[in-house]
Structure 1
Amino acid sequence: MFRVSCSSRVIKLRSGRYLLMVSMLFPTWAYAQTSAYDELIIQARDGDRQPLLQYLAVREQQTQLTAGEIADWLQVSSWANNDVETLAVWDRYRQRMDIPARGQVAAARALRNQKQWNASLAVWETVLQDEPGNSDARTGWIMTLADAHRNEQAITEARRWADEEPGPEREALLAYVYHAQGKNWDSVLAASQLDTDSDQNKNVVPTLLAAMSANRIAGPALTLSERYPQPDAIKRQLELDAAAQTVRAAFTPTRNEDERFLVADKALARYNALIDEWKDNPEAQADVRRARIDRLGALVIRKHMDDAIAEFESLEANGKPVPDYARRWVASAYLAQKQPDKAESLLESIYFPRGSTLASQPLTMDDQQELLYARLDNNHFDEAKQQLDTYSKETPYLQRIYGSPTPQPNDSWLLARTLQTEYLVATNDLPAAETHAERLARTGSGNQALRIAYASVLLARGLPRAAERELKLAEVIEPSNLALERQQAWTAMELQEWRQADELTKDVVKRSPDDAATLQLERLMAVHNKAELRIAGSQGISSDSPVSGKNDFTLNTALYSPPINQNWRLFTGYNFARGDFEEGKGISRDLLAGAEWTSRDLWAEMEISGRNDGSDQKIGGRLSGWYDFSDNWRAGASAERLSRNTPLRALRNGVNSNGGDLWVRWYQNERREYQVSLSGAHFTDGNDRLEYGISGKERLWTSPRFTLDFIPGIGGSNNSKEDVPYYNPKRDFSAVAGLRAEQVLYRHYDTVWKQQFEAGAGGYWQKGHSPGAINQLGYGQRIQWNNVVDAGVKLTWDKRPYDGKRERNIALAFDLNVRF
């Protein structure tokens, strides 16, 4: 806090006034310039005070000092900013003699500097009783009233004096009193009336500078200090205030990121210059630290998050805590760098010190949002729910603004409801999220952000076309909105609109290259443009199955090229199968190559393969594809020569098959879907097989880390021949009701580790044999890493009848998908 005071620690009246007082009280000076004592007085007046102070200290030991000499001692030690010595002298002599007014004034200033308000006021009032017209004493008394927070008396006395004797010094005093009461606008208004161009008013410039700094009018204050040079310490503070004002301007919303970056770059350049200039000055080290702290804001705005974090940790390592306003900036940096644990810890240390559940101060809207995101990213869902509930209770729909009779919409209310959508999505309660987001979007149709949020929920539910429609409606409001373009790009990728997604991504990257959401979008597009390796297979552990045989092993691999001209990918692959049967070992090797086409609503693959099943080499081919009619309906088909579904035992006995299938999927959302399939195959031994099936999923339970699904399945087949060397029932039918549970063991942004449990039971009917039970169990784990690796392994056990005999199969299945 700045002070306007007669003390040398605070803003002082010019020494010319003191000289005038000295010359009035000591008229002998006019004609005794040659005396030793007079010379010491003159030296003290010119700034060399130590000789006089030493002289008086020695003389005190030798003889009794006069009241005038005591007054001189008090006054000169006050000029030297030595409050301790001033008060020591005062305490020794104030009861022993009547000290002249100038000495009492010096003692009162020292008491005020030591914040002994009552004692200081008592001395001021004593002086004013003896000398009512002493302006120095009256000024000091009123300023001490302000310091002691006797607000009503201080402002009353200051106004009365300004009315009685208008002038710059009275206005400066009034500005000081306003500032002491925290009324900075009133303070700067009073100070702005001072005529600083007048040489007579130069002594009030410090007051005006202090008022301007308190009101963050740093630029003009710095300019004024250049016209009227100030001490180096004050000049450094004004420089820092002006640079801080530039940082605050960088946080102001602008039309685009480039404008904010220009302001932030200007602030960074200024801070770097100031730090280089002051770093070797011992007296400026506190200012250097403040510059480093305030520079954190410019680093965060400029998206130099690593630099901001490194600088913060360096400042904290010195043992001195960084102020809360800068810790908020660093929390944003930690969150942007995907370190939500540190971001949450920082914000909680600011608002919930020592583990308190009640906020010590109201959270800003930005901090409410960042704290919630940090807790959600840390999977601290209970804490996030408590925060949202508290925030919602504290934010009514309408708020009353002082001076306005009409209630105004409350932005915090809208933020709380928007964050509710984010919470519901993060906790996997997508139905509630959709309902909530749709209500907000429909009731606030003019709010583009609400429509974008609603579209994001639809996309999370696997409904990209519905999301696209909402984004088209939002586009009417502001077509070039960055958040809109990002969401449109994500939706285009889901719709396989690769060209549109690429154009939108490039535009967003050009406009906001360092934004975290833009970097995420750019990475997803980069991942799509990578090559892809797929590996899947199984290893039999203990099996009696006539279908796969003993010691069975399968491996299917495919390597896809990066996209060519947006829609095409070339691929090559290798398939291998092995199994032991009664008649011997069966082996099949397939080498394949082909092309994949993807576009909106359509996927297709064409493949040519060469098969070696141990007897001869054959050429096969495959055509497969699917088409989306809407978000809910998809139909697919395939046709194969040398079908990959041909049983290995048939291949072992020289039998191949050609076939194809048709299927239709109905998808409501992530919680419910069903698929009907029909497939046929013609074997080279004359057998014709027709298979059908119905499968589905019904979500039974959802929590942030756990889901439970009901997975029913019905299937059957018909074969035209029975006397064949592979498992081939004339007719069969199965029905299985299963449960699948999935638990998230670890989640950190795009890295997720899960475990899966499956169990099922049902029945199997085969013509010519008694019905039997089907039992299934499975356990597996899956890890998804950084959008480029998706791998899983599952151990399965099942027991079912084959030709009336129940047989067991234990196998280990695995799959791996890598983008590189």
Structure 2
Amino acid sequence: MRIAQQYKKIAFRQGLRASCALSLCLFFPVLASAADSNYDQLIIQAREGNTRGLLDYMHAQEQQSELNANQVADWLQVAGWSGNDAEVTRVWQRYHTSMDIPVRGVAAAARAYRNQKQWNTSLSLWEQARQLEPRNDDLHVGWVMTLADAKQNYRALQEAEAMLVADPSARNYQLLAYVYRSQGKSWDTLFATTRAEGIEPTNAELEQSLLGTLSANRISGPALNMSQSAKISPQFERTLEADAAAELVRMSFTSTRSERDRFLVADKALARYDVLLKKWKDDPAAAVEYRRARVDRLGALLNRNRYSEVVSEYESLLADGKPVPDYARRWAASAYLADRKPQEAQKLFSELFGPTNAVNLPTDDEQDLFYAYMESENYAMAQQEVVQILEKSPYQRHFYGSPTPGPNDKWLLGRTLLVQYEVMTNDLPAAEKLSYNLARSAPGNQGLVINYASVLDARGLPRAAERELKIAEALEPSNLELERQQAYVALDLQEFRQMDLLTDDVVDRSGEDPASQRLDRIRDIHHKSELRISGSQGIDSDSPVSGSHDFTLNSAIYGPPMGDNWRLFAGFNYANSEFEEGKGITRDALGGIEWRARDYWIEAELSNRNYNGGDKLGARLSGWHDFNDNWRVGGSAERLSQNTPLRAMRNDVTADGGTAYVRWYQNERREYQFSVAPSWFSDGNNRWEFGLSGKERMLTRPNLTLDFTPSLYGSVNSKENVPYFNPKQDFSVTPAIQAEHVMYRHYETVWSQRLVAGVGAYWQKNYDTGLITQAGYGQRLQLNNTFDAGVMLTWDKRPYDGKREQNLGVAFDLNVRF
């Protein structure tokens, strides 16, 4: 409205000057015969802006004598100058039927009716005035502007262009600009205004008009520069300064030519806002611009990845009790999401988008809304959004003006979001199938190949993921998302040097990016020290193996990695229990070194074992080798084996031994392992243990998994009649069900519960086959990838030497990175 008023003022100013001159020329004869000698002075005062005197005179004169046509025309003009359109129309309606009012009065009435939006009456009066003075261009200008106001767009534009062809003057360009603006053609308006100002560069009114047009078209920087030489009000100057800063904010959302330049515009905007906010903070006249600057500054903070500051400032603006515009609320929603507050983000998105179908939203809005749903675990709404996009997005779409259909980005977006939905809801087989089809159908799309690799890595197949990432690397080796995923895969493959190099490059190029910060944190956690504790406490047990009131504790502290692959460790183990022959206690102080590399893990340990009042030196060498993602072989060799029964140690019987195993891993839903463990006891007994265990996924839900865990176990001993449980031969089959339920999850904070139940059979040579029953319930808490602790109450009942014994106890474990 402010700009529209400027257009009206500027367009009519020259007409008013000509009309005023004409008014005085026509009035001089009247003045000579007027009874009031002050009339001339009142006219001069009215031209200078003091209209009250002449208007009061006209009111009084009207009561005393009859006014002539020139006086009525003067009254209409001066009332129009004072902005009193109601008085103009009242005077016109009273006198126009009883006298021939001069053109200047008719034009004043036409303007008044136009201001009151009585377009037809105004146009009729303009036509009347033009008939009286057909060569008066000022009247033609007023008529065209009224046509524009009345939305007679075609005729208004036709007439304005005709005047411009006849006379390409600044005034006619300005008229054309007015017509364009009334039609919402902002860039055409700018063109015409620029041409007008170019013809008369010293015209201050045209300069202000151009300033307003530049500002309206969001060309705020040049407008602010131009304002330095123009005479504008302080309020308009503040508006231009706020506009220029907002322009920088908008520019900060655009892509930059290089990664290092991505924050330059945002930093420049923030620096300008620091100056403006300091200048306007204590200025009551600048309260509106001060709040606007605070609102617009949110966008620059968001682009600078200062999410917590965006949230804090947004909440501060809300606390003022004044509404925050939707565009700033959209920024706040993105900041909430990036700041890991998905519930608040979801609430804002819902308020902003309301019932809008997801397919009608811009791509960025669709993605942010989807992740707000997923990260707040509102899976139903996330699925609904994905289904809407899939159902309403055909593979191809038609573009206006082109007979050839083109690819539909929404079609691809819907399937990409579906992959993410399936990954985050644990439906990894479906995610792998869909991501594979997308990657193979568009081999030139690097993002799709990276997504497929990430799904493979999530399924525990890092080598397959590595191969896909090598394919993607050929397209754009320095892609940040590619390098991030390569770093995660390198960590899973124990390629620690490669992981460090990739992470260093990612952090150097995009250290402020949340995805890069998460990768850097994972790398930092890898380089931390590690504490491992596990153990159990018997509550009620009469087992000949564990004894009664048994307690075990195993602990180890691993130092930070050295030379990428090496870690030193030290630990302490303790066990005690009550047996028929007395209490058994062992204490182990141990230390060693661990070596990890691609496809290999080796750990060597020396220990001092204290039992029955004496000390002995123990040793262990363990390791494994991966042939590929599916097959692993491993084993260990021990002197004074940790698996020696405590009851045997209580009776001065030790054992050396080892293990060997083969593991087959298909994916997170299926795996099996076969193991052999020989032990050579110091009393001459030789034991061979065999085991086969596995896992089959039965049910998967976003917060629930149900696994079938079969187990086969058998052993053979060469001696009998020894002081520890030592069946000649035995064999057990124990199928079990394990359910794990996530009760609470917020990013890396996970609180879950686990229920285990199984029923099987146990056979021991020379005894009947007996029933095995087992059950367990536990809970686990994981915090920030650095703390993982669990506790489980376990119960089982099984035969020993033909008699069923029960065991009730508590098992616990703790892993802390520090």
TM-score (normalised: structure 2): 0.92
How far apart, CA to CA, are the structure 2 residues paired with 1:91 and 1:17?
A: 20
1:325 to 305, 327, 337: 327
Letter in 2 for 1:802: Y
Deviation at 1:136, TM superposition (A): 4.8
Aligned to 1:341: 343
* Structure 2 residue matching 1:254: 3-state secondary structure: coil
Cα 1:124/1:301, change in 2 over 3 Å = same
Q: Corresponding residue for 1:468?
A: 466
SS in 2 for 1:13: helix
Q: Note if contact 1:399-1:408 (Cα within 8 Å) is conserved in structure 2.
A: yes
Counterpart position of 1:302:
304
Partner of 1:722, secondary structure, is coil
> More deviation in 540-549 or 287-296?
287-296
CA distance 1:685–1:109, shift in 2 (3 Å): farther
Corresponding residue number in structure 2 for 1:128: 127
Q: Contact (CA 8 Å) 2:89, 2:112: kept in 1 or not?
A: no
Once residues 784 and 65 of structure 1 are traced to their aligned partners in structure 2, the CA distance between those partners, rounded to angstroms, is: 97
Number of the residue aligned with 2:291: 289
What is residue 569 of structure 1 aligned with on the other side? 567
Counterpart position of 1:802: 800
1:681: how far off?
Answer: 0.7
**Superposed, which structure 2 residues align to 1:197-212 within 5 Å?**
197-198=199-200, 203-212=205-214
Q: Gapped runs of 5+ residues in structure 1? A: none
Could you tell me how far apart the structure 2 residues matched to 1:492 and 1:64 are? 103
Q: Deviations over 1:752-788 (max 9, x none)?
A: 1111111111110000100011111111111111101
Q: Residue 567 and residue 46 in structure 1: after superposition, are their counterparts in 2 closer, same or farther (change >3 A)?
A: farther
Task: Pick which of 128-137 and 305-314 moved more.
Answer: 128-137
Name 1:588's counterpart in structure 2.
Answer: 586
Partner of 2:770: 772
Alpha-carbon shift at residue 470 of structure 1 (Å): 1.0
C-alpha distance in 2, partners of 1:174/1:768?
A: 110
Residue 240 of structure 1 corresponds to: 242
> Could you say which residue in structure 2 is the equivalent of 1:311?
313
Between 1:638-647 and 1:177-186, the stretch displaced more is 177-186
* Conserved 8 A contact 2:76-2:91: no
Are the equivalent residues in 2 in contact too, given 1:196–1:202 (CA < 8 A)? no
TM-superposition CA deviations, 1:186-211 (whole Å, max 9, x none): 33344444352525866444554444
Which amino acid in structure 2 is aligned with residue 659 of structure 1? Answer: G
Name the SS of the counterpart of 2:755 in structure 1.
Answer: strand
What letter matches 2:774 in structure 1? Q
Q: C-alpha distance in 2, partners of 1:59/1:463?
A: 99
Q: Which residue of 2 aligns with 1:364?
A: 362
Partners of 1:64 and 1:656 lie apart in 2 by 136
TM-aligned CA deviation for residue 606 of structure 1: 1.1
In the alignment, residue 425 of structure 1 is paired with which amino acid?
V
Q: Deviations over 1:705-763 (max 9, x none)?
A: 11111111101100111101111101000011111111111111111111111111111
For 2:198 and 2:66, the matched residues in 1 are separated by: 43
CA contact (8 A) 1:6 1:140 kept: no
2:436 to 434, 438, 449: 438
Paired AA for residue 815 in structure 2 = N
Q: Distance in 1 between matches of 2:676 and 2:576?
A: 27
Q: CA deviation at 1:251?
A: 1.2
From 657, 660, 667, the counterpart of 1:659? 657
Deviation at 1:616, TM superposition (A): 1.2
- 1:65 offset after TM fit, Å? 9.3
Query: Aligned ranges for residues 135-214 of structure 1 at < 5 Å?
Result: 135-136=137-138, 138-163=140-165, 165-198=167-200, 203-214=205-216
The alpha-carbon distance between structure 1 residues 809 and 198, as it changes in their structure 2 partners (threshold 3 A), is same
Tell me: CA distance 1:109–1:814, structure 2 relative to 1, closer, same or farther (3 Å): farther
Q: Within 2, Cα distance between the matches of 1:728 and 1:810?
A: 22
CA distance 1:159–1:16, shift in 2 (3 Å): closer
CA shift in 2, pair 1:536/1:141, >3 Å: farther
Distance 1:72 1:516 in 2: 72
Residue 537 of structure 1 corresponds to 535
Q: 1:295 to 1:121 in 2, by over 3 A?
A: farther
CA contact 1:791–1:817 (8 Å) conserved in 2: yes
Kept after mapping to 2: 8 A contact 1:4/1:12:
no
Change (3 A) 1:35 1:652: farther
1:266 is matched with: 268
Structure 2 counterpart of 1:498, one-letter code:
F
Q: Does 1:642 align with 2:644?
A: no
Contact 2:659–2:678 at 8 Å: present in 1 too? yes
1:716 corresponds in structure 2 to: 714
Larger mean Cα displacement after TM superposition, 672-681 or 246-255:
246-255
Which stretch of the first structure deviates more once superposed, 294-303 or 712-721?
Answer: 294-303
- Paired AA for residue 238 in structure 1: L
For residues 579 and 594 of structure 2, the distance between their equivalents in structure 1, rounded to whole angstroms, comes to 36
Q: Match of 1:480?
A: 478
| Alpha-carbon distance in structure 1 between the residues aligned to 2:368 and 2:743 | 24
Q: Between the two proteins, what is the percent identity of the paired residues?
A: 53
Task: Kindly indicate whether the alpha-carbon contact (under 8 Å) linking 1:247 and 1:263 is maintained by their aligned counterparts in 2.
Answer: yes
1:369-518 paired onto structure 2 within 5 Å: 369-518=367-516
1:677-688 equivalence runs, <5 A:
677-688=675-686
Change (3 A) 1:443 1:786: same
Q: Which of 499, 519, 522 is the equivalent residue of 1:521?
A: 519
2:762 touches 2:798 (CA, 8 Å); kept in 1? yes
Unaligned runs of 5+ in 2: none
Per the alignment, residue 624 of structure 1 pairs with: 622
Q: Distance in 2 between matches of 1:526 and 1:110?
A: 75
Residues 44 and 52 in structure 1, CA contact (< 8 A), matched pair in contact too: yes
- Once the two structures are superposed, residues 100-143 of structure 1 have per-residue CA deviations (whole angstroms, 9 ceiling, x without a partner) of 66566566656655xx53x2542343243234446555444544
Equivalent pair of 1:169/1:204 in contact (CA under 8 Å): no
AA in 1 matched with 2:447: A
| Contact kept? 2:113, 2:121, Cα under 8 Å | no
| Residue 252 of structure 2 corresponds to residue 250 of structure 1 | yes
1:14–1:203 CA contact under 8 A, matched in 2? no
- For residues 810 and 77 of structure 2, the distance between their equivalents in structure 1, rounded to whole angstroms, comes to 94
Aligned partners of 1:597 and 1:603 also within 8 Å: yes
Structure 1 residues 383 and 110: CA distance shift in structure 2, 3 A:
farther
Q: How many residues align?
A: 806
Structure 2 counterpart of 1:217: 219
Question: 1:95: Cα distance to partner?
Answer: 3.2
Q: Distance in 1 between matches of 2:154 and 2:42?
A: 44
Tell me by how many angstroms 1:503 deviates: 1.2
- The separation in 2 between residues aligned to 1:558 and 1:109, in whole angstroms, is 92
The answer (yes or no) to whether the contact 2:180–2:186 under 8 Å persists in 1 is yes
- Give, in whole Å, the separation in 2 of the partners of 1:26 and 1:571: 106
**Structure 1 CA distance, aligned partners of 2:739 and 2:542?**
28
Worse-matched range after superposition: 666-675 or 267-276: 267-276
Distance 1:458 1:51, change over 3 A: same
Amino acid at match of 1:328: R
Tell me the alpha carbon deviations over residues 314-364 of structure 1, each in whole angstroms, 9 at most, x when there is no partner. Answer: 222223322222222222211111111111222221111xxx3646x9311
CA distance in 2, matches of 1:241, 1:770: 90
Q: Which residue of 2 aligns with 1:783?
A: 781
Deviations 1:247-275 (A, max 9, x none): 22211122444212111111122223233
How far apart, CA to CA, are the structure 2 residues paired with 1:692 and 1:522? 43
Task: Give 1:167's aligned amino acid.
Answer: S
Q: Which residue of 2 aligns with 1:732?
A: 730
Q: In the TM superposition, what whole-angstrom CA distance separates every residue of 1:652-673 from its partner, at most 9, and x where no partner exists?
A: 1111111100011111111111
Any conservation in 2 of the 1:610–1:619 contact (CA below 8 Å)?
yes
For 2:756, what is the secondary structure of its paired residue? strand
Are the aligned partners of 1:429 and 1:702 in contact in 2 as well (CA < 8 Å)?
A: yes
Residue matched to 1:20: 18
Match for residue 276 of structure 1 among 271, 275, 278 = 278
CA distance in 2, matches of 1:319, 1:61: 54
